[in-house]
């Protein structure tokens, strides 16, 4: 690195025209002046940052809107539509046999005559099914049930998985080893087959008090919940345990313990918030899985008990007579797809926004 074109003595005065400067420029700058120069990026909390990222994601926003619309519909529709899901349509007290398999927005002969006479009849937005029931309200109730099943199953998985995973992870050592061995075995059990088995058996064995929600749902759904409670939580347990193990080694836990914080407090204040994002994402993706399981069971014939509709059972019974009445399959199918799609996209969006491990 030779700079041999500049002479040694008094180099700066040769390089610059010092007359261009004034003494004022060389006075000290104040702290405020320096701070103005220093533009640091905004600091935000993890939560705020994540929410901001989430709302920038158009697919995630669309999913949230779509889910909100669906939720609003299923809450308010029964207030607007005068039919009940199990109600066989009747006009002026008489069973309307002609109201079978009506296309959307059409009326049966009896109903038409009634309207001509001056009566009011709420339109059958989705038509009717083979048992002369309004299809729209059945789809709405089916959605309610499917979402309820999905949600409830996820909660079961969440609670059991979290408890098991936290205990296993926090205890460590022998306890952890044994608990994880059990998880390994449960993990290899074929869930679907177990559900089927259990449903077949429970049907004969269980009798619910008629009129209760459980009775209306039927023993098959109970077996679904039981199996979810017995088998599906293992994924969540592993996740939580993994989180706890990695956090346990973390230095700030050591710091907290060294100042005397009790284990319960440590779990609450340090471990849970870190697991939160994992929990939310996992739950969001669990609901579609439950809905699929439920529709599979309906397919095999051990789904929700009639006349209670579920999206899966509606789609399934629509398979007969598909050529003549395609709409009966289309409506529940679209609703299933929309719900599952939005939950999947939302889950993806949440993961992109909140998972700190994701490299950008």
Closest separation in Å from C-beta 14 to another protein: 8
Directed axis angle between helix 135-171 and helix 272-300, to 10°? 140
Which range, of 105-113, 128-136, 270-278, 291-299, touches another protein by CB under 8 A?
291-299
Closest among 345, 344, 327 to 136, alpha carbons compared: 327
Cα distance between residue 75 and residue 61, in whole Å? 21
Name which of residues 256 to 285 contact another protein (CB under 8 A).
none
Torsional sign, CA 238, 240, 243, 246: negative
**Strand, helix or coil at 153?**
helix
**Strand, helix or coil at 3?**
coil
Tokens at 268, concatenated: 């609450």
Which range, of 134-142, 187-195, 241-249, 257-265, touches another protein by CB under 8 A?
187-195
Cis peptide before 307 (omega within 30 of 0): yes
Which range, of 87-95, 117-125, 270-278, 295-303, touches another protein by CB under 8 A?
295-303
Closest separation in Å from C-beta 318 to another protein: 9
Closest separation in Å from C-beta 38 to another protein: 4
Q: Which of 18, 79, 80, 259 is the binder for another protein (CB under 8 A)?
A: 18
Number of residues that bind another protein (CB under 8 A): 71
Q: Which of 100, 151, 299, 321 is the binder for another protein (CB under 8 A)?
A: 299
Does residue 339 contact residue 288 with C-beta atoms inside 8 Å?
A: yes
Binding mask 307-336 for another protein (x = CB under 8 A): -----x--xx--x--xx--x--x---x--x
Torsion of CA 99, 85, 318, 336, to 10 degrees: 140
Q: Is 184 in the site for another protein (CB under 8 A)?
A: yes
Distances in whole angstroms, Cα of residue 250 to Cα of each of 144, 166, 329, 340? 43, 16, 53, 37
Contacts of 308 (CB under 8 A, 6+ apart): 85, 86, 141, 145, 216, 217, 218
Directed axis angle between helix 327-354 and helix 58-80, to 10°? 140
Tokens at 286, concatenated: 């669990």
Which range, of 11-19, 44-52, 91-99, 211-219, touches another protein by CB under 8 A?
11-19
Name which of residues 189 to 218 contact another protein (CB under 8 A).
189-194, 196-198, 200-201, 204-205
Binding mask 128-167 for another protein (x = CB under 8 A): ----------------------------------------
Nearer to another protein, 56 or 95 (CB): 56
Nearer to another protein, 15 or 258 (CB): 15
Which ranges constitute the DSSP H helices of 218-326?
219-227, 233-248, 251-258, 263-266, 272-300, 311-317
Which range, of 163-171, 250-258, 265-273, 339-347, touches another protein by CB under 8 A?
339-347
> Chain-centre distance of CA 57, in angstroms?
17
Q: Is 287 in the site for another protein (CB under 8 A)?
A: no
Closest separation in Å from C-beta 6 to another protein: 5
Nearer to another protein, 117 or 357 (CB): 357
Nearer to another protein, 6 or 79 (CB): 6
Closest separation in Å from C-beta 77 to another protein: 23
Name which of residues 20 to 59 contact another protein (CB under 8 A).
21, 23-29, 33-35, 37-41
Nearer to another protein, 162 or 302 (CB): 302
């Amino acid at each position: 690195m030779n700079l041999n074109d500049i002479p040694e003595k008094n180099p700066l005065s040769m390089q610059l025209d010092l007359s261009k400067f004034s003494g004022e420029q060389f006075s000290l700058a104040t702290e405020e002046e320096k701070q103005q120069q220093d533009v640091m990026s905004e600091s935000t909390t993890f939560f705020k940052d994540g929410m901001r990222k989430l709302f920038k994601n158009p697919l995630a926003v669309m999913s949230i809107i779509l889910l909100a619309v669906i939720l609003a519909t299923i809450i308010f529709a029964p207030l607007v539509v005068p039919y009940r899901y199990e109600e066989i349509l009747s006009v002026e007290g008489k069973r309307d046999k002609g109201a079978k398999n009506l296309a959307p927005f059409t009326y049966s002969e009896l109903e038409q005559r009634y309207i001509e006479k001056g009566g009011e009849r709420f339109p059958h937005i989705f038509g009717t099914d083979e048992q002369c029931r309004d299809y729209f309200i059945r789809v709405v109730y089916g959605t309610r049930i499917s979402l309820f099943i999905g949600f409830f199953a996820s909660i079961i998985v969440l609670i059991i998985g979290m408890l098991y995973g936290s205990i296993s992870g926090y205890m460590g050592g022998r306890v952890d080893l044994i608990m994880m061995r059990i998880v390994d075995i449960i993990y290899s059990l074929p869930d679907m087959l177990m559900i089927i088995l259990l449903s077949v058996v429970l049907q004969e064995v269980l009798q619910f008090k008629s009129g209760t929600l459980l009775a209306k749902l039927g023993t098959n759904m109970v077996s679904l919940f039981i199996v979810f409670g017995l088998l599906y939580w293992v994924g969540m347990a592993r996740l939580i345990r993994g989180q706890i193990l990695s956090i346990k080694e973390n230095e700030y836990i050591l710091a907290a313990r060294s100042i005397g914080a009790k284990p319960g407090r440590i779990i609450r204040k340090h471990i849970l918030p870190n697991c939160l994002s994992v929990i939310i994402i996992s739950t969001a993706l669990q609901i579609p899985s439950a809905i699929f399981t439920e529709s599979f069971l309906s397919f095999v014939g051990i789904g929700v008990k009639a006349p209670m509709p579920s999206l899966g059972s509606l789609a399934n019974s629509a398979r007969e007579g598909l050529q003549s009445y395609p709409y009966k399959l289309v409506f529940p199918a679209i609703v299933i797809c929309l719900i599952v799609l939005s939950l999947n996209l939302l889950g993806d969006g949440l993961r992109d926004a909140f998972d700190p491990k994701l490299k950008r």
